[in-house]
């Protein structure tokens, strides 16, 4: 079987399982992930201010290369990125690190000219960012094709590891035979390494950003942020797609607040738009937990950036681990272009707000919508990117 065609994109895939209605804490044993802060009842939050300039520089690079091939950038094919560029991430000191394939001295001036400063570190690497993302695209496309199930069922999780400059494929059966089958029938590439599968992703279901909302059957979720519908300006809020299906009645502490207008659990999005029943009597705010203002500006922070979760059950923070993750649900639903991070979450947090806090400007950027955790390693969390959610639901922040 020949390699598949390049299609959509983005990192870590793990076997998904729907939540039960009973809430339970994550299993956090035997974890190597760095949790920055755990469950808290206070309003403390992690500050990514020291990483702000680095993320601005990374954004300049991404915008510059995307502008060279806007059609390709829009279709996630990354052909605008040059062969020497290996990607970038935010290091523990808050500086941008850019990977260069080939001679670092030859190409680093290209990067400093783009960002307009020298506030960047460089490392050499073996794979270009374009190669890695195209590998992700091919794997995603292979998983989408149901005719490939005989071989695709052995890998439910795969992700682009920006720091390692490699694509990691997690095999449930790591035998030599299965590795050879993957290379023969799926993709044989030096940009791929194999690791044992860690399990799967567990949705976390359980009006301010982070507050609890529920269905009539007492299934709980969280409110992410307030929005308005682009077609007519109708007011509502975003929550979890796997918790709230289309036309579901939604309640807040037993009081009816609205009905799900749109629910999406496909592509790169797990989210729903809940139309308020009686606006402004039933109202929403931009106050996270009723306290701190959430900016209407969205952000796509890089790997290593500190982000915060506010959900019905947890207020926590952690680092972004990957910005390109793909997941296969227990019902066969395949999700791509998710982000993984190390914050703490538990049942009831699905639909919660993911945001970054920059203290120097007192800004809390809208980053994403929490959807769940890895079943085997409870410290690996997943969320949908905010811009993708807004586009899929046909809504805007306000």
pLDDT in tens, 316-343: 999 999 999 887 766 667 889 999 999 9
How many CA atoms lie within 13 Å of 56's alpha carbon, on the beta-carbon side?
A: 11
Give φ, ψ of 131 to 5 degrees: -60, -45
Angle 104-115/52-68 helices, nearest 10 degrees?
Answer: 100
CB atoms < 10 A from the CB of 107, how many?
18
Alpha-helical regions (H) of 285-380: none
Rounded Cα distance between 38 and 334, Å, is 30
Among 72-81, 82-91, 156-165, 260-269, where is mean pLDDT lowest?
72-81
State yes or no: pLDDT of 365 exceeds 90: yes
> Residue 264: its pLDDT value, please?
94
> Residue 184: its pLDDT value, please?
94
Q: Which of the two residues, 28 and 274, has the higher pLDDT score?
A: 274
pLDDT band with cut points at 50, 70 and 90 for residue 281: low
The mean predicted confidence, pLDDT, of the chain is 83
> Residue 380: its pLDDT value, please?
87
pLDDT in tens, 183-232: 999 999 999 999 998 766 665 543 778 788 898 767 888 899 999 999 99
Q: Which of the two residues, 60 and 19, has the higher pLDDT score?
A: 60
State yes or no: pLDDT of 7 exceeds 50: no
Rounded Cα distance between 90 and 308, Å, is 16
Give the CA dihedral 237, 38, 347, 306, nearest 10 degrees: 40
Please report, rounded to a whole number, the percentage of residues in the chain having pLDDT higher than 90.
Answer: 62
CA 329 to chain CA centroid, nearest Å: 15
> Residue 72: its pLDDT value, please?
47
Rounded Cα distance between 87 and 85, Å, is 6
Task: Sort strands 15-17 and 200-203 into parallel, antiparallel or unpaired.
Answer: parallel
Q: H-helix or E-strand containing 195?
A: strand 192-196
pLDDT band with cut points at 50, 70 and 90 for residue 2: very low
Work out the widest C-alpha separation in the chain, in whole angstroms: 63
> Residue 291: its pLDDT value, please?
86
pLDDT band with cut points at 50, 70 and 90 for residue 78: low
């Amino acid at each position: 079987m020949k390699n598949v065609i390049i299609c959509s994109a983005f990192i870590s895939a793990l076997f998904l399982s729907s939540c039960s209605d009973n809430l339970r804490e994550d299993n956090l044993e035997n974890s190597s992930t760095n949790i920055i802060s755990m469950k808290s009842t206070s309003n403390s939050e992690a500050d990514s201010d020291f990483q702000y300039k680095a993320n601005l520089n990374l954004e300049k690079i991404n915008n510059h290369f995307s502008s060279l091939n806007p059609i390709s950038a829009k279709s996630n094919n990354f052909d605008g990125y040059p062969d020497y560029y290996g990607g970038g991430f935010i290091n523990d000191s808050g500086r941008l690190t850019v990977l260069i394939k080939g001679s670092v001295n030859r190409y680093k001036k290209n990067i400093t000219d783009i960002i307009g400063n020298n506030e960047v570190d460089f490392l050499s690497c073996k794979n270009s960012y374009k190669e890695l993302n195209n590998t992700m695209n091919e794997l995603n496309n292979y998983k989408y094709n149901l005719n490939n199930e005989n071989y695709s069922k052995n890998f439910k999780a795969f992700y682009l590891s920006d720091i390692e400059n490699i694509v990691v494929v997690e095999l449930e059966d790591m035998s030599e035979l299965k590795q050879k089958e993957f290379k023969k029938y799926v993709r044989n590439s030096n940009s791929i390494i194999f690791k044992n599968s860690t399990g799967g992703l567990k949705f976390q279901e359980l009006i301010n950003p982070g507050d609890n909302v529920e269905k009539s059957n007492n299934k709980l979720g969280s409110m992410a942020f307030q929005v308005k519908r682009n077609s007519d300006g109708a007011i509502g809020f975003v929550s979890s797609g796997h918790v709230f299906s289309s036309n579901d009645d939604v309640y807040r502490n037993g009081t009816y607040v609205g009905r799900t207008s749109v629910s999406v659990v496909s592509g790169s999005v797990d989210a729903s738009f809940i139309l308020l029943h009686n606006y402004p009597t039933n109202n929403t705010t931009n106050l996270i937990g009723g306290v701190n203002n959430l900016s209407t500006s969205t952000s796509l922070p890089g790997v290593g950036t500190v982000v915060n979760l506010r959900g019905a059950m947890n207020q926590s923070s952690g680092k972004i681990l990957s910005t390109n993750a793909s997941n296969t649900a227990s019902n066969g639903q395949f999700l791509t272009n998710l982000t993984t991070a190390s914050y703490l979450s538990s049942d009831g947090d699905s639909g919660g707000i993911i945001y970054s806090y920059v203290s120097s400007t007192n800004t809390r950027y809208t980053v994403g919508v929490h959807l769940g955790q890895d079943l085997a390693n409870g410290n690996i969390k997943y969320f949908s990117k905010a811009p993708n959610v807004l586009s899929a639901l046909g809504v805007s922040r306000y």
